[in-house]
Amino acid sequence: MTRQRLILATRNAGKITELHAILADAGLDLDLVGADAYPEIPDVKETGVSFAENALLKAHALAQATGLPAVADDSGLCVDVLGGAPGIFSARWAGTHGDDKANLDLLLAQLGDIADEHRAAHFACAAALALPDGTERVVEGRMEGTLRHEPTGTNGFGYDPILQPAGHDVTCAELTPAEKNAISHRGKAFRSLAPVVRELLG
Assess whether pLDDT exceeds 70 at residue 1. no
Smallest CA-to-CA distance from 123 within 189, 184, 173 is with 184
Residues 39-64 as b or e (16 or more Cβ within 10 Å = b) = eeeeebebebeebbbbbbbbbbbbbe
Which residues does the annotation mark as catalytic?
74
Average pLDDT over the chain, rounded to an integer: 92
Give the model confidence (pLDDT) of 151-180 as tens digits: 999 998 899 999 999 999 999 999 998 899
Query: What residues are designated binding site for substrate?
Result: 10-15, 75, 157-160, 180, 185-186
pTM for the full predicted model: 0.90
What Rg do the C-alpha atoms of the chain give, in angstroms?
17
Written as one letter, the residue type at 5 is: R
Give the model confidence (pLDDT) of 35-67 as tens digits: 988 888 888 888 999 999 999 999 999 999 999
SS (H, E, C) 96-111: CCCCHHHHHHHHHHHC
**CATH for 5-201 (3.40.50.1820, 3.40.30.10, 1.10.150.120, 3.90.950.10):** 3.90.950.10
Query: What residues are designated binding site?
Result: 10-15, 74-75, 157-160, 180, 185-186
Assess whether pLDDT exceeds 70 at residue 25. yes
CA distance 149 to 98: 21
